[in-house]
Amino acid sequence: RFSFILLPENVGKRKAQIAAIRQSSGDLVLNVDSDSTVASDVVTKLALKMQNPGVGAAMGQLTASNRRDTWLTRLIDMEYWLACNEERAAQARFGAVMCCCGPCAMYRRSALVSLLDQYETQLFRGRPSDFGEDRHLTILMLKAGFRTEYVPDAVVATVVPDTLGSYLRQQLRWARSTFRDTFLALHLLPGLDRYLTLDVIGQNVGPLLLAVSVVAGLAQFILTATVPWWTVLMIASMTMIRCFVVAVRARQVRFLGFALHTPINLFLLLPL
């Protein structure tokens, strides 16, 4: 049975979520984006994970429903696999997935209700926040003492950007959310496994170090007219090693092609 809630105007995702949560009555709340395609067994698999009363939220594995459309959607589909089956899977070993992604995540309603005021009143630069809802809600769950989990066999497909412009805008929003909510999560880290501290540091410092390497290489080329071969070889070798390891783990040769994401990262994403 479905109940439709008609709001008087477009108030954004966050306020729409809050309106639905406040009118809900079940023990669990499933959040699904409008462009998500949920497999028939996803709800069951997420609900099984939520049987542990200490779990406040759980997410499934994301894929790109339009992955065959362009070369970019194929890359993003591989990027999602890496984000889910490396980053989230590792974090889930310690019960602290740092972001239960918006396309499909299940929450414990009793926990949600207790966090709604904090969720609704989040500010960014003095104004109500209108991005990064999933990451902020996950951090609030962890802050309240709940575990957040990843269920790899609960597969959800979502539409991903098919042009570079829309992809870069999406990544900029996500980067802002990551850096902003990292500060909120810092005081949580001492109470979590040390791996998560290393993970958070790596996610935030890694891009900075990579940017420094690129700038240093460009400076060498401009000032000395010599190619920074060591920098080029190091970045290329690390890229290929990572792609090879993932191809072996996933048993899919296509992941060797994820090396094409490196120039996008270096010359388009880092400058943002």
Are residue 152 and residue 230 in the same domain, yes or no? no
- On whether residue 85 sits in a domain, the answer given is yes
Average pLDDT over residues 202-221: 91
The answer, yes or no, to whether residue 2 has pLDDT greater than 80, is: no
Are residue 176 and residue 209 in the same domain, yes or no? no
Are residue 43 and residue 167 in the same domain, yes or no? yes
Task: Identify whether the C-beta of residue 158 lies closer than 8 Å to the C-beta of residue 36.
Answer: yes
- On whether residue 24 sits in a domain, the answer given is yes
Total domains, the chain: 2
- On whether residue 105 sits in a domain, the answer given is yes
List residues bridging with 61 in a β-sheet: 155
Q: Which of residues 180 and 228 earns the better pLDDT score? A: 228
Are residue 46 and residue 156 in the same domain, yes or no? yes
Are residue 140 and residue 168 in the same domain, yes or no? yes
- On whether residue 7 sits in a domain, the answer given is no
Q: Where among 127, 158, 192 does a domain terminate?
A: 192
The answer, yes or no, to whether residue 270 has pLDDT greater than 90, is: no
Question: Which residue reads 């999933």 in tokens?
Answer: 134
Average pLDDT over residues 150-172: 97
The answer, yes or no, to whether residue 128 has pLDDT greater than 90, is: no
Tokens of 159: 């539409």
- On whether residue 5 sits in a domain, the answer given is no
Q: Report the largest interatomic distance among the alpha carbons of the chain, rounded to a whole angstrom.
A: 70
Are residue 245 and residue 150 in the same domain, yes or no? no
Q: Where among 192, 215, 248 does a domain terminate?
A: 192
Q: Which domain holds residue 249?
A: 205-272
3-state secondary structure of 155: strand
Task: Identify whether the C-beta of residue 123 lies closer than 8 Å to the C-beta of residue 85.
Answer: no
Residues 6+ apart with CB under 8 A from 216: 228, 231
Lowest mean pLDDT among 40-54, 91-105, 124-138, 144-158: 124-138
Residue type, 163: T
Question: Which residue reads 């005081």 in tokens?
Answer: 187
Average pLDDT over residues 185-206: 90
Average pLDDT over residues 251-266: 96
CATH number reported for the structural domain that contains residue 110 in this entry? 3.90.550.10
Are residue 50 and residue 112 in the same domain, yes or no? yes
Are residue 220 and residue 174 in the same domain, yes or no? no
Whole-Å CA distances, 143 to 140, 183, 189, 266? 5, 12, 10, 34
Q: Where among 157, 192, 227 does a domain terminate?
A: 192
Average pLDDT over residues 222-235: 95
pTM as predicted: 0.93
Are residue 54 and residue 162 in the same domain, yes or no? yes
Give the mean pLDDT of the chain: 94
pLDDT in tens, 63-105: 999 999 999 999 999 999 999 999 999 999 999 999 999 999 9
- On whether residue 149 sits in a domain, the answer given is yes
Are residue 96 and residue 143 in the same domain, yes or no? yes
- On whether residue 98 sits in a domain, the answer given is yes
- On whether residue 129 sits in a domain, the answer given is yes
